[in-house]
A and B are shown apart, each in its own frame.
Chain A
């Protein structure tokens, strides 16, 4: 099982747009630029991070913005991080990503004063998603839908990202020690499954869509909510129950790591973890991996592949 198993299982795509008095937006409208960004959900807070390519830094307004936002530079990209404080915005965006349990937030970017959020979801949730758009609009003035239709595939979705930053595909594995294989949640799951993190949040908060090769026995009792009957798609929070993944997710959240295609697979006792990471953030990603490898020496953490995603 791999990325395609999850990607194709979610057959719809929706792109929301958001305008109004939002951080950073005004100045991107004035000077007409696009910025790749990432949304991080804390327990009650919301943070947004941006990439700014070096060649834009010669613009006076951008250089002032970089100085004011304490941006850090890595290679040829600046990286800055903001808190988005308003409660309405937090609640609204949380609804956007959590209103339907099959929704995955793939990408967010800011273009000329407008934020765009690109999500995938399953067609069985179509009614819920469209119904909720009206609800979100009441919470967030300026929310609209730019696209609703078939999922064109992650490769197409990621083309927008690749216009702004180079991406590294990082794949690694952890071989579970026997005690872990025998304990929950691994003991409750079949031999093969794959999951994708729905959005970026704290260690405990991460909600995943799990696709298994067979039906999970006693799913409901064990906390696996079947989201699409018959497709073996479940919602689950690994971070709540499983210390290795909870730790890794927490370290990523601490670093405000933006990453795409957040896939974990399980195959006969080994976890195969894969992410597309902006080049500028690979060092931070490695720091999180190194920390979890130190903390869990018996999980035999090992890189399997790193290459430029083209």
Chain B
């Protein structure tokens, strides 16, 4: 059900790897599997939730590390948070999301390295290179493990399913007719869009490929490539403000968001860790209650494997 071709916008992909400076994670290379991490941006800080399998509590170094971290339990996962208050060098990632076509696909920790998988449009290759050079200065190291044509969502899913069990979810929303100019401009044509990164502020940055660019009006869409009908737009609505607030209260359950508007219905597709499944349904149900006019429905929810082999023996039991 999750669309096969979900990377219609950024034709390039980069995997940027940085050696961890977080004590437990430096040692984590002894574990033969990866952990997922979710980065988010607020006006005040850059933060990250790191998901570690719960059974690792038995590990001596991890248990020492846990003592000074606030850890929350989410199904099979122990989740802890790091922010730029403690690790100011994380702020450099703001430079990455300032590049208009960049969308963060996935972040994970493997072999003691933080790896950021992101896509972008080829016209921004130089800006991305510049980010890599600057990030190396801020972080003390960092290499592009991969830089080239976008290998698509399948690549990301293959990586992500090595860290945890995954679920894909689709929520359909029927936006009510709005008087606001911004909403009118936004829904004037069919489009697909990628959420570029997770933020807890009241607006979201998207990368669009629109169906009919002649129908675009107003200031909302900024062009990346007129020829390929690729645009960026920052949007804010009551529903997204509510949704962001819920995310900030319940961690970030969805790491890859792809939206499709067919002229009537908006479909929000995303990938969730199975451990976050209940939280996600809770958020949808609260949103439904608060926005009855939007006709919100869970259209699809299904595990993503067994297409991808799980290598962590402790998950999936």
Footprint of B on A, CB under 8 Å?
75, 168, 172, 282-283, 286-287, 289-290, 293-294, 300-308
A294 touches B143 (CB 8 A): no
Interface string of B117-154 (1 = CB under 8 A from A): 00000000110111011001100011111111000000
If the complex has contacts A300-B126, A302-B126, are A294 and B133 also in contact, measured as CB distance less than 8 A?
yes
The distance from the CB of A300 to the nearest CB of chain B, in whole angstroms, is 6
If the complex has contacts A303-B144, A306-B144, are A290 and B133 also in contact, measured as CB distance less than 8 A?
yes
Residues in B neighbouring A306, C-beta threshold 8 A: 144-148
B148 touches A305 (CB 8 A): yes
Of B128, B142, B143, most buried by chain A (CB within 10 Å of CB) is: B143
The distance from the CB of B152 to the nearest CB of chain A, in whole angstroms, is 15
Determine the residue in chain A with the shortest Cβ distance to B149: A305
- Which secondary structure dominates where chain A touches chain B? mixed
The distance from the CB of B162 to the nearest CB of chain A, in whole angstroms, is 17
If the complex has contacts A305-B148, A306-B146, A307-B148, are A283 and B141 also in contact, measured as CB distance less than 8 A?
yes
A293 touches B129 (CB 8 A): yes
Determine the residue in chain B with the shortest Cβ distance to A277: B143
Of the residues B132, B136, B141, contact of A303 by C-beta under 8 Å: B132
The distance from the CB of B234 to the nearest CB of chain A, in whole angstroms, is 26
The distance from the CB of A287 to the nearest CB of chain B, in whole angstroms, is 7
Residues in B neighbouring A283, C-beta threshold 8 A: 141-143
Can you list 29 A-B pairs with a CB-CB distance of less than 8 A?
A282-B143, A283-B141, A283-B142, A283-B143, A286-B132, A286-B136, A286-B142, A286-B143, A286-B144, A287-B136, A289-B133, A290-B132, A290-B137, A293-B129, A293-B130, A294-B133, A300-B126, A302-B129, A303-B125, A303-B128, A303-B144, A303-B147, A304-B125, A304-B147, A305-B148, A306-B146, A306-B147, A307-B148, A308-B146
The distance from the CB of B49 to the nearest CB of chain A, in whole angstroms, is 27
Determine the residue in chain A with the shortest Cβ distance to B125: A302
Counting from the closest, the 3 A-B pairs by CB-CB distance are A302-B126, A306-B147, A290-B133
If the complex has contacts A302-B125, A305-B148, are A293 and B143 also in contact, measured as CB distance less than 8 A?
no
A306 to B111, CA, bound (A): 20
If the complex has contacts A286-B136, A293-B129, are A305 and B147 also in contact, measured as CB distance less than 8 A?
yes
The distance from the CB of B223 to the nearest CB of chain A, in whole angstroms, is 21
B141 touches A293 (CB 8 A): no
Question: A290-B136, A304-B147, A306-B145 are known contacts; what are 15 more A-B pairs with Cβ within 8 Å?
Answer: A286-B132, A286-B133, A286-B142, A286-B143, A293-B130, A301-B126, A302-B125, A302-B126, A303-B125, A303-B147, A304-B125, A306-B144, A306-B148, A307-B146, A307-B147
